[in-house]
Amino acid sequence: MQTIGKSVYRKEAPDKVTGAAKYAADFQKPGMLYAKLVISPYAHARIKDIDISEARNMPGVRAVLTGQQAPLVGEEIRDRPPIAFGKVRYHGEPVAVVVADTPFQSQTAAERIRIAYEPLPVVNTPADAIRKDAPLVHENLEQYEKGVMTYSEPNTNIANRIKIRKGNPAKGFLESDVVVENRISFSPSDHAAMETRCCIAEIAADGVVTITTSSQAPFMVKKILSDAFGIEAGKIVVHTPLVGGAYGGKSSVQWEIICYLASKAAGGRPVKLYYTREEDMLTAPGHVGLDATVKLGCTKDGKLLAAEIVYLFDSGAYADKSPDLNRAGAVDCTGPYHIEHIRCDSLSVYTNHPYPAPFRGFAHSEVLFAFERTMDKLAARLRMDPLELRRKNAIVPGHTTPTRVLLNKSNIGNLPRCLERLRELMDWEEGTLIRLSDRKVRAKGISCIWKTSTINTNASSGVILLVNPDGSINLMSGVVEIGTGTKTVLAQIVAEKLQMDVSRIHVRMEVDTQTTPEHWKTVGSRGTFMAGRAALAAADDLIRQLKDMASRVLRCSPDDLEVGGERVFLRDDPKTSVSVKDIAYGYTYPDGNAIGGQIIGRGNYILRRMTYLDPETGAGVPGPEWTVGAQGVVVEYDRRDHTYQIIKAVSVIDIGKVLNAKAAEGQVIGAMSMGLSFAGRETFEIDRNGIVRNPQLRIYRPLRFGEHPEYIVDFVETPQLDAPYGARGVGEHGLLGMPAALANSLSLAAGTDLNRLPLIPEMIWRAKEGVSHDSV
Amino acid sequence: MIPYDFEYYRPASIAETVRLFWVLDHQGKSPVYYSGGTEIITLARLHLIKTGAVIDIKHIPECRALGFEQNRLVLGAALSLTKLEEANPFPLLSKTSSGVADRTARNKITLGGNLCGQIFYREAALPFLLADSQAVIAGRDGIQRRSVHDVFNGGLRLGKGEFLVQLLTERSYSGLPYVSVKKRKQWETGYPLITVSALRKEERLRVAFSGLCPFPFRSAELEEDLNRRHVPLETRIDQAVRRLPAPLLNDIEGSSEYRIFVLRNLLAEVMEEMEGR
C-alpha cells in the first residue's frame, strides 16, 4: 500500500474546482460592520491635521480611528504604528479607518475625512538611504524594541546589518588571477496573489478575540495581538480558512491588527476589513527590492577564492520581516559554491517605499540574481563555459557554508548531479548562442540555486490524529493550506506510516489556533519537513496505542504486532488480527466490559541544533538543510528591436525524495513562472516622489496564460536523513534561479550586461544604446 | 464597489435615447452612455467617472447592426469585439481589435465603447481611419453622418449628448492588403506601446497609429513621406518620424524616446511587408 511518491489528488480539490471553497472574505456574521481604510497619497509627509468630523456624522458610521502613539507593532523591530501617527512613511500607509454598517457607508465616509499633509524629502533607493545626509525615515530607531539578531544603527536608515566574515578576503583577492565586480538593482514589487487580504475581527463580552484572516501565520497573529495589546494568549482565537495564494505576502501581520482595533472601537462587534486590489498592492507588504555589489576573485583556471559582497535590501518604511530577509540573504550570500574567503555586509535599509513581506524564496532569488550574474561575468572574463565554472566550484559535503556550517551528505543535496542533468536537458553541447536568422538568436542562460530556511531556531510544529469509529483518521495540523497541497502530503505521510489508504485520512483544512496544534508559520518550504516530522511522531504514537490495545485483545506482546490496512495483526500470523475500528474507541469484551477510549495520536517537532549567528562573523547554524538545484532558460531574442520570447525553462532540483509527483512538479512549475514574471515584467513603477504608479493589475501585469514557455522539471533524490522519507523542501526553489538565468541568457543574446530587473525590451535597449535611465 | 448610486436606463430606440439624455442632463445627473460597461466599472470605482445615470445603448436595433447594405459594411456601436472577430466582415478590424484587453473582456467591450471611452488608445479606430469610414452619430439634431476623420482622428470629437450608432465602410476596403502590429512594453498582455495598422489602396500605403499620443491618428503628411518610393526606406522613415504630433507619450508603458525607436522598427517592418507584396 504505497502512497509516497504517488500523484494523490489534493484533498481540497473538489471544493476548489466547483467553486465551493471558502476564503476569509466569504464569511458573513450577523451584525457585521465594515471597515474602510484611508491611505496616504504621499510617500513621506508630516500629518498636520486630520478632520474626521464630517465622516463621524455620516449615516451608519460607528467609529472613526486615527493613529495613536502606542502601541507600536512589527515582527523584528517594533517600529510601526498600526495606523500612521505623526507622519506617513509610504504611499498607501493607513492613516484612518472608518467602521460603518455597510461597505458603501464606510467608503463614503472615508472619502469625507480631510487630512492636511506637509510633504517631507523622500528616501527613494537603498543607495540613497545610506548616504550620510539622507533624511531619516525613523528618527527614534534606538528606542524601538528589537528581536534577536537585529542590529540597527541609530541615526541612520540602517534597520539591520548582518556581517559575514569567513577566511581572509584580502589574501583571497591577492591570490586571485582574475577579479570581477558587478552591480545589480531592482525595485520593490508585489506578490499579486489572487485573493486580496481580508480579516474579520470580533471581541466577545468575555474578552475573547476571534479573528478570521487570510494568513500564513495565524499563530503569529495570536502572538502579536497578545504582545501588543496585552491580551491573554488563550483569549485569542485565529481562524484561517483556505488561503487564495500567499507566496510569503500573507505571513506578515498587518490587516488583522487594524481590524482588531476597528472591532474594539465598535464595541467588539464583528468587523470585516477587505483590501481592494490597490490596497493589497500598496498598503499590505510586498516584495523586497535590492541594490547589490558582488566582487569575485578566482584563479586563472576558474577556482573561486574570494567574495566581497554588499546587499542593500529595500526595507521600505518599516522593518517587519526585512531584518530576517537580509539575514537570509547573508547566510546564503554566495550561491552554492565553495569559497574560502568571504566578506559580506547584508543590510536592511529604510526607504519611503511600501515595506516588504517575505516573498517566495525569502531573499534567495534576489541574492542569486546578484551573485549568478557575477558568475557569468566571471565566466566571460575567463572565456570559460559558465556551466563548467559552476561545476568546478559547486559546494559539496566536506565544504563549509558562508556561516561555516560543515556540510555532509544529508544536510546538502547533490549539486554536481543537478548540473549534469541540466547540461543534458538544455542540450548544452549544441552551444549557448545560436544564430537563427539575420535578426534572431537563441541563447541559453543558467543559474545554480540553494536555500536553507532561516526560520526561528525554536520553531515547532504539532499534529494530532484522531481515530474515527470506522477506523479512518482525522488529521489536524497548523499548516495553512495556501495552495501548495501540503496537507495532502501530510495525509500521504500518515497513510504510508500506517499502511492504509490515503482516502481514509481526513484532513482538516481550516486552522484555528484554539484547537489546532501550532505550526510556527506556513513559510519557508517547511510544511512538509516540520509538520511531516510531527505527523510521523503522531502516527508512531497512534501505532503504539493501537498495539497496546490490540495486545490485550489478541493476548500477546505489543512487540509481536504490526499495523496495516486498518488492522492490527500478528507479524508472523497476519490472520490473527483485530480491526482498528473495533479498538478505535476502546475495546468492548463480549460480556460488556470495556477498556481504553478514543485513540488520539499526538506528535510534535522542533528544529534542532540551530544557533544564533555570531554578530561579528555570522558564524552559526542558520537552518536545518540546503536544497540545491540548477536551472536554465532558453530565449529567442530579436537583435533589431530587443524583444524576446522565453522558449524553455528548466529546473533540476535535488528534492531528497519525491512525495507526491504531480504536486512537486506543480510547485516547481508554479514557482518558475513566478520567477520569470518577476524577472521579465513585474515591478512597482515608483516615481521620484516615491509614489507607486501602477498599483492595479491593468498596469501591473503578472505572467498570463499564453505567455508561458515550455517548462521542464526533473528531480535528483539525495535523501535528507532526518526528514520524512528523506524529502527536502521544494515550495520555493523553482523560483530562485529564474531571474539570474533569464538575465544571463539575455545578456548573452544582447551582447551586453543586463543587471536590472525587470528585463523589459526598453531596459535592454537602454543598456545596448547606453541611454541613461531617465526616470519618467 | 462603485461608491455612489446611479440610475440605469435601457432605451429601445435612438430617439428615446437622445431624449433621455437631455432629460437626465436637465435633472443634473450628468448621464453617460453605457455599452459594454467595462470602462465605466473600472473607472467609476476609482471616481474617475462620476455619473448619476447610465443609458445602455445595447438594445437599440441600429446599434447592433452587422452586415453589408448595398456596397457598405454597417457595424453597430454596441457589437462586442469578439462578435466582430467571429463574424470577421473586416479582417483588418478583427486583427486590430483582437489585441485589445483579453478575450473575457472583449466579450463585453463593444466597438462604440472602445472608440468613445476615456482610455485613450481606441485601437479599433485605426481600421476606420484607414478606410475613410463614415460615423453615424445621433444627437439632438437627429442622425448625422460624419467622416471618421472629423470624429476620431486626434481627440474624440462628439458633441454633448451625441453618441455613436454605427460605422459605415465601403465594402472594397475589407479586401485590401493590410498589416496590423501591436507592440507592448513586454510580451502579449497590456496596453499598446504602439499599435500600427496599415492598408494598401491603389499602390498607396495608409498608416494609422495608437499609443504614440493620447489619441489615435492618421497623418496625410506622414503618409506622403512614406509613399515616396524613389527615396530609400530609411530616409522615408526619418522624414515620417519628424511628422509625428508632439508631445509623444512618456509614461509607465515606455519613454517617448523608446517609442520612437520602436516606431522606426515597426515602420520598417510594415513597409517591408506591404511593399514586398
* pLDDT, tens only, A120-143: 999 999 999 999 999 999 999 999
CA distance A88 to chain B (A): 22
The B-side interface with A (CB below 8 A) comprises 1, 3-4, 42, 102, 183, 185-191, 250-252, 254-255, 257-258, 261-262, 265
- The set of cell numbers assigned to A753 is 550586461
A525 has pLDDT over 90: no
Q: What strands lie across the sheet with A45-51, from one edge to the other?
A: A87-88, A45-51, A114-119
CB neighbour list of residue A626: distance below 8 Å, 6 or more residues apart: A332, A336, A401, A407, A411, A412, A413, A450, A451, A452
Mean pLDDT within A530-548:
98
> pLDDT tens, B6-58?
999 999 999 999 999 999 999 999 999 999 999 999 999 999 999 999 999 99
Q: Cβ of A765 under 8 Å from any chain B Cβ? A: yes
d(CA A26, CA B47): 26
**B90–chain A nearest CA distance, Å:** 25
Burial (CB count within 10 angstroms: exposed 0-12, middle 13-18, buried 19+), residue A241:
buried
Q: How many residues does chain B have?
A: 277
Asked if B250's CB is within 8 angstroms of A765's CB, the reply is no
Q: Give yes or no for a contact between A284 and A249, defined as CB atoms under 8 angstroms apart.
A: yes
Res. A428 pLDDT band, cuts 50 70 90: very high
Residue whose C-alpha is closest to residue A692's, from A214, A277, A113, A117? A277
For chain B, say whether A177 makes contact (Cβ under 8 Å). Answer: no
Cis previous bond, A622, omega within 30: no
DSSP assignment, residue A26? G
pLDDT over threshold 50, residue B268: yes
**pLDDT digit string, tens, across residues A645-664:** 999 999 999 999 999 999 99
CB B175 within 8 A of CB B236: no
- Between CA A353 and CA A349 the distance in angstroms is 11
pLDDT in tens, B132-164: 999 999 999 999 999 999 999 988 999 999 999
Q: How far is CA A433 from the centre of its chain?
A: 34
CA A688 to chain B, closest CA, distance in angstroms equals 13
Strand extents, DSSP E, A82-142: 87-88, 94-100, 114-119
Residue-level pLDDT at A773 = 54
Report the residue of chain B nearest A775, measured CA to CA: B255
How many residues are present in chain A?
776
Please classify residue A682 by burial: count the beta carbons closer than 10 Å to its beta carbon, then call 0-12 exposed, 13-18 middle and 19+ buried: buried
Within 8 A of A645 by CB-CB distance, chain B residues are 187
- Residue A776's pLDDT band (boundaries 50, 70, 90)? very low
Section A194-216 average pLDDT: 98
Average pLDDT over residues B252-274: 96
Residue A767, C-alpha cell as written in the block: 543598456
Say yes or no for a CB contact (<8 Å) between A762 and B102.
no
Please say if the pLDDT value at position A774 is more than 70: no
Give the one of A685, A704, A771 whose C-beta lies nearest to B257's C-beta: A771
The 10s digit of each residue's pLDDT in A69-93 is 999 999 999 999 999 999 999 999 9
Please report, rounded to a whole number, the percentage of residues in chain A having pLDDT higher than 90.
97
Residues 689-728 of A with CB under 8 A from B: 693-694, 698-699, 701, 703-704, 706-707
- A455: pLDDT confidence band, cut at 50, 70 and 90? confident
Distance to chain B for A372, nearest Cα, Å: 24
pLDDT in tens, B65-87: 999 999 999 999 999 999 999 99
Cβ B258–A643 below 8 Å, yes or no?
Answer: no
- pTM (predicted TM-score): 0.97
- The answer to whether the CB atoms of A765 and B42 lie below 8 A apart is no
Quick count: other Cβ atoms within 10 Å of Cβ B142? 10
Chain B residue nearest residue A642, CA to CA: B262
What pLDDT, in 10s, does the model give residues A149-159? 999 999 999 99
Across the range A740-747, mean pLDDT stands at 98
Q: Does the N-terminal peptide bond of residue A94 adopt cis geometry, omega within 30 degrees of 0?
A: no
Q: Please check the confidence at residue A524 and state whether its pLDDT lies above 90.
A: no
Does B190 sit within 8 Å of A699, measured CB to CB? yes
Closest CA to A446 of A520, A385, A519: A385
Detail the DSSP E strand segments found in chain B. 7-9, 32-34, 53-56, 66-69, 72-76, 134-139, 142-147, 163-170, 178-184, 192-201, 204-213, 215-218
Judge whether B152 and B164 are in contact, CB under 8 Å: no
DSSP string, A41-52: SSSSEEEEEEE-
Beta pairing partners, A298: A178, A304
Taking CA–CA distances from B262, the nearest residue in chain A reads A641
Spell out the residues 6+ positions from residue A488 whose beta carbon is closer than 8 angstroms to its own. Answer: A8, A9, A10, A11, A12, A507, A660, A663
pLDDT of A775 reads 40
Cα B7 to Cα A399: distance, rounded to the nearest angstrom:
72
User: Which pLDDT belongs to residue A771?
Assistant: 72
B61 cis-preceded (ω within 30 degrees of 0): no
Q: CA of A680: which chain B residue's CA is closest?
A: B186
> Residue A296 in contact with residue A378, Cβ under 8 Å?
yes
DSSP for residue A482: S
* Phi-psi domain of B152 (left: phi exceeds 0; alpha: psi -120 through 50; beta: other): alpha
Q: Do A238 and A216 meet the contact criterion of CB atoms below 8 Å apart?
A: no
pLDDT band at A772 (very low <50, low <70, confident <90, very high): low
A108 inside 8 A of chain B by CB: yes
CB A286 within 8 A of CB A279: no
Task: Label residue A720 by pLDDT band (50, 70, 90).
Answer: very high
Q: What is d(CA B254, CA A685) in angstroms, rounded to the nearest whole number?
A: 11
Q: Cα–Cα distance between B211 and B205 in angstroms, integer?
A: 20
A interface test, pick of B98, B119, B193, B258 with most A CB neighbours within 10 Å: B258
Put simply, the answer to whether B251 touches A704 (Cβ < 8 Å) is no
Q: Has residue B276 got a pLDDT over 80?
A: no
Which chain B residues have a beta carbon less than 8 Å from that of A761?
Answer: 185-186
| Residue A203 one-letter amino acid | I
Provide, for chain A, the percentages of residues in helix, strand and coil under a 3-state DSSP scheme, each rounded to the nearest 5.
30, 30, 45
CA distance A628 to A416: 10
Cell 499563530 appears where?
A: A219
Contact flag B188-A704 (C-beta cutoff 8 Å): yes
Of A104, A111, A704, the CB nearest to B189: A704
CB contact under 8 A, B3 and A107: yes
Residue A662 phi, psi dihedral angles, 5° rounding: -70, -35
Q: What is the mean pLDDT of residues B96-105?
A: 96
> Are B258 and A765 inside 8 Å of each other by CB?
yes
Query: Is A759 within 8 Å of A743 (Cβ atoms)?
Result: yes
> With pLDDT > 90 as the criterion, what percentage of chain B qualifies?
97
Distance between CA atoms of residues A683 and A700, nearest Å: 7
Contacts of A771 in chain B (CB under 8 A): 257
Gap between the Cα atoms of A263 and A224, Å rounded? 17
Write out the three cell numbers for B84: 466582430
Confidence of residue B275 (pLDDT cuts 50, 70, 90): confident
State what percent of residues in chain A have pLDDT above 70.
Answer: 99
Written in H, E and C, the secondary structure of A507-567 is: ECCCEECCCCCCECCCCCCCHHHHHHHHHHHHHHHHHHHHHHHHHHHHCCCHHHEEEECCE
